[in-house]
Amino acid sequence: MAPIDGYWGQPTSTIDWCEENYITTKYIAEFWNTISNLAMIIPSITGFYYAYRNNLHQRFMFCFLSITFVGFGSWNFHMTLLYEMQLFDEIPMIWGSLMLVYCLMIHYYPKFRENIYKNMMLKMILITYGVLSLFTYLYLKTPILFQISYVILVTYMLYLTILLLRYRPCNRTVFYVATFIYYFGAFLWMIDNFYCDKLRLFRQTNTILPFILNPMTQLHAWWHVFAGYGSYLHILFCTHSTYLATDKPLEFRFIWYVGLFEPMPTRIAITNQSNLHQSNDHHQYNYQQIIPPPHSATVFSAAAGGRKRNSDIAQNQAQQPSSGGDVNQLDTINTTTVDGISTAKQPLNQQNQSTYQSFADIADPVQNPHLFIHVASGQKISRPWQAYISDLDDFFERIYYYYRKSGFTCIVVENILQLLEIILVVLFTVFFIHCIDYQVLFKKKLPDGHQPGTPLKITISDVLIPFNQIHLSSLEVFFLLFYAGFWFCKFGVAVHTILSNYAIRSFFIEALQIHDPLLYSWQEVQLRLINAQSQCLLRETHLDELAIHNRLLRRANYMIALINKGVLPIYYRVPLLGECIYLTSGLEFNFRILLFRGVFSLFDKNWKLRDEIKSPAERLECARRFSNRCLAVGLLNLILLPMIFLWQSLYAFYTYVEAAKRDPSLFALRTWSRYGKWFCRHFNELDHELDERLNRGYRPAARYMNSFRAPLLEILARFVHTIAAILLSVLIALTVYDEDVITVEHVLLLFTGLGAAIAISKAFLPDPEPNRWTFGELDAAILQHIHYRPHNYPSHTIQARNAMGNIFVYKSTTILEELLSPLIVPYILIRHLRSRSLEIIDFFRVYTLELADIGDVCTFSQFNFHQNGHRIFTNPDQQKTEQNQSVVQSMMSMNTSKNGKNNAEVLPDDRNTTRNGKLELSLINFKLKNPKWQPPDLSQMQFIDLFTRQSCDDPGIPNLIFPDGQLDSQMQPAIVESKSTIDLCSPTTSAYPAIIETQPGPSSSVRPDNIRNQQRQSQMVIKTSQIGDSSTGMLESSDFGFNKTRRRLLQLRYGNMFSEQERRDNQMALSSLYFHQIVSESQSSRQQSQNFPLPQHQQQLSQSTSLSEQRTHGSRNNESIPLLRSDHEARRNL
């Protein structure tokens, strides 16, 4: 508090800062906090002057003026510490933030700038927010409300700026510097608040150089300096980004002696207009040569510092002439002399193919760094969904999201309820902690106003504490502010999601003629999207099913390949637990941030990998940068650990406690793990297709895992079950006799605990229903749906069970892993992911393919059968020779890498192929899911046709499913003959023509004159009722009951009951069984015949590598978990 002789009297503000009052002079209450506001006033006035002189938009002038008002208001507030001056300080902060939010929104969302009604609506929303914040603050007079409002606006500004970094041309350096300066000042502000007493004690006890240490320890004053300059830079960033997207970009010259920037308008040379012609329509594009003024001290400019925006030329796009010269060649750019500066005639492009995304890089950045291409003037967006076509990846993702979420209404309701759920979780937590008197609730004290000796009956009002009587600690306020900022981020995302999906809704109705997506399959939506290509202004050379899936699943295909190659650090050996695979939602989110989605990710745009990642010469530097990013993200996870862990704990408590009381056996059920979903996923397979497959494979997988017996656990579980049942029976009998027993202390807890013990112990007891299927049958039933085997062992062994347990885990294990994720993820990022930096960089460089009309995609997503196919199918004759040669090359490269003489990547011998037949099965699955897709390579179609025919005609498939020989010798030929291949070009051809067709036809496998053979096959079908669920030689995994058997029998007898999708799923199941049978036989024969002599030193390296692999894989040859690392790294990690 201020002394009595202070010039302004006693402070009346609601907050008094850490600086001692009236120490330096009696006219200024907080001297250093006052004069530090010059760092806000001077830059903002200078920015306003330059903006006015260069005739910039008025909104930027108002932004600079708002910072000036904040500086003057803060000056008066810290000088007087009066409540009126406090309002003069804090209210301009809110309105200045609203002004900057307005500038960012109309730049990122052009509809707010082009549509006057939407612009007015945005202004009214922001003004309403400011007015409500003002009146609420004036009424309650608490600084917490101001801090919450200000944090919300700053968080939303940060979110909009991140969107600008990803999708708009802007200068990243200015944003990074401004953000760092601002948040560093905020960090000092927080320290000044939390450690004020210690700082004051230090200033009072320090007698050495007090004139230096006193201002240095005034951290709130430093907050003014950093916040003022950071806000000034942020306005410059917004100004530069806005003008960079126009035809008059700006340059900013740095004035070093004052530390400010002066905007310099760019001079524009007059150029000839070039005509770009396309096959369908003709559009005229304006090319302008941007010539920067000759300033020696240019820090960032539109040409050198900005990112070229692809959406500016997305809607009207020209196709480059082919090498054959049939299309008119592009004109060159002829520039004229302007102010003595002339440019020579230069060719526009030398490439053969180009699309909307490659137009941005149409000029050589070295020869012509100032070339820009713009959309023809006068064109406006007539439909709301056309604003999203500029980025086809994002556009297709929104279409699929709209389809997956079942329409606009479901999306709106889901987003609103998610926001409401966050609010209720936080409010209920605060209410249960502070608003309930537990002493009264537990009858440890009497309620207020209750007389002793009278009958006690506690009501709800007796245990409630009024809201105005609760007191929140500083830590609780910090958590509430954090969750409030998180909620407003979610609110902004929800609003953006609803608005974008409203536009997608109009696209579905207008372009696709779909009003209810629930009535259509994805293949039908996809077909209509391809047919509407010209209407949607999609300027791709050829839009087909594979192109759509490559854009939709660009990042998912990389994740599948990363896990298939074993690059990501998710395999660990834990003491007492053995080999474990750890992949949670939090860890996967961090992987996506570092690799794909983050500002510092490996992708410069949605579709483009950074150029330095593709360069072999910069692989070490890229690995170093990626390692530093992993460290930064790991440290950020450590900082956010308390908030994330608290939120996950609360969410788990509110979600699973009720389930534990109602049905504890739910925790003993199994579910597919995240690793299992990635392991079983095909390349170019959508989410709903994967979920459908795994759902069909759930029951056989559960029966398979339950078929394994653990005698010791069964004995212990039976004992626990018996004891708990005895105690629970006695308690139930006592409660029936006298209901007052239930009021005894801890009786309800005992009821709950005994019920949970009984339910959990039942999970370890054998199923009372006898098991009708062998391990081989169940293993085949699982394989026909998940399509990949996680092991190479006999299905009845414990190794096979453990491998299956990695992808099919207990629900309780998943809950525990998610709870521990905030603690483990930072360790994995800092300790293990950083050590894999070079391998990850090499992976993206080696396995990235640049397509002219799509962008950078994973190599395996193109189904290049000759280059990435399995040796068994590509060149089986040279399989052994190639393998041994690759082993020798791998050993030599390992020696060279360890000696440090070469920087070439260390890759395994099968670096061009996928493990577990991922590529081959993905190709077959994609063709079966998209029957109208025509593979570009003839060998792909030949492989699909030959493989599906052989899988249907191979007599070993029934033996694989029924190893016990249950098939009748006369029944097997009929069943095998009935499995004819599907005509992939005709979606209406039956999968079982030998049985389905009642009358012979040209496509029937039964001759017209062979009626006796048809009658014999019909008799064979009737006999299939004795096989359980094996009506076509396949074990139906979804249901094992008698009713399902009858349905399958009818499907065989009357084939029209099969849906087209069921036929293709059955064909894929046969293909997966046949593929793994071939691979298994090939591996066994290769292990027996492989004998390749190596020199002695290479034999030692080979033995060392084999020992490392045995340690890594638990002394087993597991093909599904390969490791892309050297022997030294494997030993170090283990």
Answer yes or no: is 17 a known binding residue: yes
- The verdict on whether residue 220 carries a ligand-binding annotation is yes
Residue 879: alpha-carbon gap to chain centroid: 39
**740-768: string of b/e by CB count within 10 Å (b at 16+)?**
eeeeeeeeeeebeebbbbbbbbbbbeeee
884: tokens are 């041994």
The distance in angstroms from the start CA to the end CA of the chain is 61
Coil, helix or strand at residue 565: coil
Q: Report DSSP state, residue 20.
A: P
**Measured CA distances, 390 to 185, 537, 796, 871 (Å):** 38, 10, 54, 41
CB distance 488 to 153 below 8 Å: no
Q: Amino acid identity of 183? A: Y
Q: Are 958 and 975 in contact (CB under 8 A)?
A: yes
Distance of CA 619 to the CA centre of its chain: 25
Q: Which two tokens stand for residue 933?
A: 């897709």
> Residue 795, class by beta-carbon neighbours within 10 Å (0-12 exposed, 13-18 middle, 19+ buried)?
buried
* Residue 916 contacts residue 788 (beta carbons within 8 Å): yes
- What is the per-residue DSSP string for 681-703? PPTT--HHHHHHHHHHTHHHHHH
Rg of the Cα atoms in the chain: 35
Residue recorded with tokens 């939709």: 552
**Token digits for 945?**
């046709």
3-state SS track over 31-75 = HHHHHCCHHHHHHHHHHHHHHHHCCCCHHHHHHHHHHHHHHHHHH
Interatomic CA distance for residues 705 and 474, integer angstroms? 50
Which tokens hold the place of 96?
């200045």
CA-CA distances (angstroms) from residue 842 to 615, 617, 851? 10, 11, 19
Q: Are 1048 and 975 in contact (CB under 8 A)?
A: no
CA 570 – CA 911 distance, rounded (Å)? 20
Residue 473 DSSP SS3? coil
Quickly list DSSP for 1060-1091. Answer: HHHHHHHHHHHHHHHHHHHHHHHHHHHHHH--
Secondary structure (3-state) at 1004: coil
16 marked as part of a ligand binding site? yes
Residue 607, classed as helix, strand or coil, is: coil
Retrieve residue 757's tokens. Answer: 């013990």
Question: Distance (Å, rounded) from C-alpha 633 to C-alpha 639?
Answer: 10
Asked whether 42 and 61 are in contact (CB, 8 A), the reply is: no
Residue 19, annotated as binding a ligand: yes
Q: Is 574 helix (H, G, I), strand (E, B) or coil?
A: strand
Annotated binding site for Ca(2+): 16-17, 19, 21, 30
Annotated binding site for Zn(2+): 78, 220, 224
Annotated binding site: 16-17, 19, 21, 30, 78, 220, 224
